[in-house]
Amino acid sequence: MKEFTHIDKKNNPCMVDISNKNETFRSAVAVSEIWLPEVVRKQFKEGDIQSKKGPVFTTAIIAGTMALKQTSSLIPFCHQLNIEGSKIEIDLKNEHAVIRCEVRTFGKTGVEMEALTGAQIAALTIYDMCKAFGHEMKIENCQLIEKLGGKSDFKN
């Protein structure tokens, strides 16, 4: 029977003890999408919007990268990790901006939460920078699509 990992025997929240684990290569890929109404999509020229706040996708990539490095400060029981590599890509596909965030490290625990955080914060940054055109945008389909390393691998 599976049990929650972040609850001790007395049902108190706790950080998982990874002190006895070996360091291994870990990676994760997460994707998030933001639906953009036509009025926002019309602003894009050659892949990015040049707004008064700066280039939207470029800024979202920077924000997502900054956020993924701060995941342990945002999510109470995430371990602080030394991120050894990350890459965020944003592509306009039909009515959506699709954000793909990959994170890599060599450590005792995985980087799934970092990848998910990077993808979501990039989406939120796009929303923030485009909201002058309306609030109809929708952040959708945030999911982990791949995890390598640790006890098990995952691919969706």
Strand blocks (E) in the chain: 24-35, 50-51, 54-55, 85-93, 96-107, 138-148, 154-155
What is the DSSP secondary-structure string of 77-104? TPPP----EEEEEEEEETTEEEEEEEEE
In angstroms, rounded to a whole number, what is the distance separating the alpha carbons of residues 120 and 140? 9
Catalytic annotation, pick one of 8, 17, 91, 128: 128
Q: Mapping DSSP to helix (H, G, I), strand (E, B) and coil, where does residue 29 land?
A: strand
Annotated active-site residue 48? The verdict is no
CA distances from 81 to 16, 108, 129, 135 (A): 14, 9, 29, 35
List active site positions: 128
